[in-house]
Amino acid sequence: MSKIIAGNHNDLYNIEVQFEVVTAILEKAEIPIDRVFLSAHAGFDAKSFR
């Protein structure tokens, strides 16, 4: 969900910030997100992201 960056990072690197960026883009495009069902790869499963 983020740009390519150097270093050793996993799929959850900065996930909260990147998700906020994505939802802001959807809201700006007037795409409602209040009832969106997110189905993501297991690599994105973390208590902090839920």
Query: pLDDT (tens digit, 9 = 90+) per residue, 7-43?
Result: 766 667 778 888 888 889 999 999 998 887 777 677 6
Question: Tell me, what's the pLDDT at 24?
Answer: 93
Range of the domain at 20: 1-50
Q: What is the band of 4 on the pLDDT scale with cuts at 50, 70, 90? A: confident
Q: What is the pLDDT of residue 2?
A: 62
* Total count of domains within the chain: 1
Read off the pTM: 0.62
Position 36 scores a pLDDT of: 77
CA distances from 34 to 5, 29, 38 (A): 31, 14, 11
pLDDT confidence band for 1 (50 / 70 / 90): low
